[in-house]
Amino acid sequence: MMPSLQEASLAMKAEIADLRAALASRPAEVDDEGLPPLPKPMIPGSIMARYSSEQFRQGQRDAREYQRKVDEKIIARRDQEIADLRFNIGELMKAAAPSHTTNKENG
């Protein structure tokens, strides 16, 4: 015999209350590194996590460190290009400057 609509509704409400209690009892994740939140399957106690939340966090840290190194290389390359341009502009300015020597000095 199928449960009545009222019984099914009460069972569903009880299940929702249990889920809310489980979520409320879970400790909040403390993230002092400014990393994005864990995806839902990585929350401790979730079903079928492919790797631990710490492995996931380490991957985020590694990605952030790699990006920092890439950014440093880009900035260093840009700074070198700016220095080269300034040097070239200086050389052009010297070449374009009028000579202060006279014909007598040139011999």
The whole-chain average pLDDT of the chain stands at 77
SS3 state of residue 47: coil
pLDDT at 74 exceeding the cut of 90: yes
Q: Mean pLDDT over residues 82-89, rounded?
A: 91
- pTM, two decimals, is 0.42
Q: Mean pLDDT over residues 58-80, rounded?
A: 92
DSSP 43: S
Give the tokens for residue 1: 């015999």
